[in-house]
Copies of this chain bind each other. A is one copy, B any other.
């Protein structure tokens, strides 16, 4: 195997679940392929790299991930053409971000060669699972968890890195109405908001549930000090179109440096749109909604790529956004997904060809 230079042990499954999966009707993140990659951090090094049949992992009940939350992840997608070529979208950016998250969570960084060899071997082994029909992709979930036993609050000495794969379809979340947060918060200055760590998600579930109960699908988080600046939506970065200008908050230690966000900015700039990366005040957006200059809001993230927002609520008042033909959201989404799926040229060099074994 030309791409396995890392002594990854391979144990293949003797059966496949592929015929049990209805690829035309997939729920996001619920089906997993026949194999998984795992690698353990023991005595100061990543070791025991292996691909084996997908299945449960066994941990001591005192494993630190259960008690002290050292857990980070990434989300990526692979695509396959009808001639069998497989590629990824900006995968090195995911590895760089994973390792930034690792540093902040006191988790050892994961080596680049092992990341790529492990992921590409696994994608080759489960290649049949990557569909070529319109909108299909393979969602890739790399993650690291603290496995060392012991209920004392200190960084673990043992970890497990894994890749698991989940086939995905294009994601339509329905009409998205959002609530601007004015009480609850996602992250603090000096905290872990920029890291893709497990705890950032659990903290959002309860306030999101309150928003859901009130008829809003997502919360747009504001800064925790003043609740005056719009930051991100927890699983998406957020863009605002005021007049012909596209505005999004700068990344900070409170905001995830989204890869789709960066791609939206690059594509918008290349398309000649005016893009401003600066603090976005809730009052500015409310005023723009009132005077009719707020034309669009949308979220940007790996799962949905671009998720248009149809209305927002701020301090009890609802504001609807206009329904536009040829919205920036639809134009930018098409440009990104055409690159991702190979329908258009990739002038940015974002596609990474997965090596064949």
| A residues adjacent to B (C-beta < 8 A) | 27-30, 32, 36, 38, 54, 56-62, 65-71, 73, 75, 103-106, 139, 141, 143, 145-146, 149-155, 162, 164, 166, 181, 183-192, 197-206, 209, 224-225, 227, 234-235
The answer on a CB contact under 8 Å between B141 and A202 is: no
The listed residue (B32, B54, B104, B143) touching A66 by CB distance below 8 A is B143
Question: How distant is the Cα of A139 from the Cα of B152 in the complex, in angstroms?
Answer: 11
Instruction: Assess the A67–B201 pair: CB atoms within 8 A.
Output: yes
A37 vs B61: C-alpha distance in the bound complex, in angstroms? 11
| Interchain CA distance A319-B29 in the complex, whole Å | 53
Contact: B201 with A141, CB < 8 Å?
A: no
The number of times this chain is found in the oligomer is 2
Q: How far is the CA of A145 from the CA of B62 in the complex (A)?
A: 12
Is B189 within 8 A of A225, CB to CB?
A: yes
Nearest to A190 among chain B residues (CB) is: B185
Cβ B65 vs Cβ A56 within 8 A: no
Whether A71 lies near B73 (C-beta < 8 A) is no
Complex A-B: 27 CB contacts under 8 Å: A29-B151, A30-B152, A36-B61, A54-B61, A56-B61, A57-B58, A61-B164, A65-B198, A67-B201, A69-B69, A69-B202, A69-B203, A71-B202, A103-B206, A105-B205, A106-B209, A139-B151, A151-B164, A154-B205, A185-B188, A185-B191, A187-B188, A188-B188, A188-B191, A189-B225, A191-B203, A191-B224
